[in-house]
Structures are given as C-alpha cells and as structure tokens.
C-alpha cells in the first residue's frame, strides 16, 4: 500500500491493511435440528442479513460423537446477493446423528457491528475492518483423497467414497460452501457432494453421488479457526 493504515506482526506479516479486506467473522453460533419432518435438518437464520454481493463463507464443526457424523450437504446458503439471510444443513439420507454443532459466518470485508473501537473503510467507502468482526485464519487443506469404494443407490446412482486421515481438533472448522453445491459432471444432473466425519476412526470422508461415475476427486477440504 502507498497510503492509509497498515499493521504487521512480529514476523513482519501484514495483519491489517487499508487496501485489502481480511476474512472477517460476521456471526458465530450453534446449529441444531429444527427443520423438516423428523428434524433431520437445521436452519440457521442470521441475526441480520449479510449485504455482500459475494456469498459469505460458512464454516462448520459438527459436535464430536462416538461414531460418524454424516452431513447431507454441508451448508446451503439462504438468500440472494446483497441479502444473505441464513443457511441450511442436515443429515445424509436421515442416517446417524442429528445435525448439532458450531458455525462461523465470514466474509472478505467487515460489517459495521461494533459500538466502539476502530473501523476502517476502503477507498470505495466499504468497511474492511471493524473491531466487532475478528478474523478467520485458514489452517490447512486436504486434497490428497484416497479412493475407497463405489456403491450403487436405489435409483442406480453411483456413490463414491474418498477419505483422508484427520485428527478433528475442536477449534478447526470446515469451509462448508464447497461441500454444499453440485460438482460438474458430464450430464445435466451433476455430482452431489457430502462430508462425513468419522470421529472414532479419525478419518474425514468425501462422498459423491452421480448417475455417471468419474472417479477423479481433487476438491480440497479447507479448514480454518478463529483468529
């Protein structure tokens, strides 16, 4: 930057700069089963709408259980550009543990939340830092998935299983946006994607469902924690 405000840490890494937005925490909280017949889903409504054009980032951390938490899609956003109002998550095929856990909602750019402290704006007058919106720090990403097997569903669809070892620290959250949209496939249906958390055996699974069956899978699972 050539002018404005800049903070660096003891390692000379830029922590805050008036020309670049950080990935800022907007909301945190818990999700719980409250949606659909049998409460197999969970809807979280934000305290106030998020007004960014870009989708906010949703990070989730299912509660640790004695077994496998099977998420049926990680976190589908509710709302539209400029008016994001919440997200939806739930169980995979209504199997296993009910959806309970913690979440972080973040975006590149702050919300004007704090009643006192420091607020920093970009040259276009958008808030890029606010004392009430701390940062989210990416910790690691997994892309070296191991293919396990392929099964078939009731309608003949292919169900592929991929895994990676993971130790499931309590303070790391999965970037859920990537696991809530269909992947491109060579048909008009696409490839549905789910995340399974096998706490007992310390393994993270990616599960894909499609009517045609590409075996390759390189989507990274990205994890972050509160800064």
pLDDT, one tens digit per residue, over 71-106 is 876 678 999 999 999 999 988 877 788 999 999 999
Residue at 50 is within a domain? yes
**Residues 33 and 132 occupy one common structural domain:** yes
pLDDT, position 162: 96
The bridge status of strand 6-8 relative to strand 14-17 is antiparallel
Which structure tokens are listed for 127? 């808030």
Domain final residue pick, 138, 160, 190:
138
pLDDT, position 111: 66
**Residues 35 and 130 occupy one common structural domain:** yes
Domain final residue pick, 120, 138, 156:
138
**Residues 13 and 122 occupy one common structural domain:** yes
**Residues 133 and 149 occupy one common structural domain:** no
* Nearest CA-CA partner of 39 in 90, 77, 93, 85: 90
Residue at 114 is within a domain? yes
Residue at 156 is within a domain? yes
CB pairs under 8 A, 24+ apart, for 92-98? 92/194, 92/196, 92/207, 94/38, 94/40, 95/70, 96/67, 96/68, 96/69, 96/70, 97/62, 97/65, 97/67, 97/68, 97/69, 97/70, 98/32, 98/33, 98/39, 98/40
Q: What is the pTM of this model?
A: 0.84
Predicted confidence (pLDDT) per residue in 36-84, tens digit: 888 888 999 999 999 888 899 999 999 999 999 988 766 789 999 999 9
Please report, rounded to a whole number, the percentage of residues in the chain having pLDDT higher than 70: 89
How many domains does the structure of the chain reveal?
Answer: 2
pLDDT, position 21: 66
Residue at 95 is within a domain? yes
Residue at 224 is within a domain? no
**Residues 123 and 164 occupy one common structural domain:** no
pLDDT, position 115: 80
pLDDT (mean) for 3-13: 68
CA-to-CA distance for 55 and 82, rounded, in angstroms?
9
Residue at 74 is within a domain? yes
**Residues 131 and 147 occupy one common structural domain:** no
Q: Which residue range is the domain that position 201 belongs to?
A: 141-217
Residue at 84 is within a domain? yes
Domain final residue pick, 121, 138, 155:
138
Residue at 225 is within a domain? no
**Residues 26 and 66 occupy one common structural domain:** yes
**Residues 74 and 146 occupy one common structural domain:** no
**Residues 24 and 116 occupy one common structural domain:** yes
**Residues 45 and 98 occupy one common structural domain:** yes
Check whether 4 has a pLDDT greater than 70: no
pLDDT, position 182: 77
Predicted confidence (pLDDT) per residue in 139-172, tens digit: 999 989 999 999 998 888 899 999 999 999 999 9
């Amino acid at each position: 930057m050539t002018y404005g405000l800049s903070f660096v840490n003891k390692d000379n890494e830029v922590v805050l700069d008036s020309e670049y937005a950080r990935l800022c925490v907007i909301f945190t909280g818990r999700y719980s089963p409250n949606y659909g017949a049998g409460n197999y889903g969970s809807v979280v409504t934000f305290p106030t709408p998020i007004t960014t054009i870009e989708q906010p980032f949703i990070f989730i951390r299912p509660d640790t259980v004695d077994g496998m938490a099977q998420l049926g899609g990680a976190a589908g956003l509710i709302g539209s550009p400029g008016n994001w109002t919440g997200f939806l998550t739930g169980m995979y095929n209504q199997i296993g543990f009910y959806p309970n856990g913690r979440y972080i909602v973040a975006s590149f750019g702050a919300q004007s939340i704090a009643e006192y402290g420091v607020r920093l704006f970009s040259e276009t007058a958008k808030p890029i830092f606010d004392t009430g919106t701390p940062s989210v720090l990416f910790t690691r990403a997994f892309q070296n998935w191991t293919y396990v097997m392929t099964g078939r569903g009731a309608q003949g669809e292919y169900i592929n299983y991929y895994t990676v070892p993971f130790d499931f620290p309590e303070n790391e959250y999965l970037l859920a946006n990537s696991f809530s949209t269909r992947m491109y496939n060579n048909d008009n249906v696409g490839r549905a994607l789910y995340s399974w958390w096998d706490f007992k055996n310390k393994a993270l699974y990616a599960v894909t469902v499609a009517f045609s069956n590409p075996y390759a899978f390189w989507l990274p699972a990205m994890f972050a924690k509160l800064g």
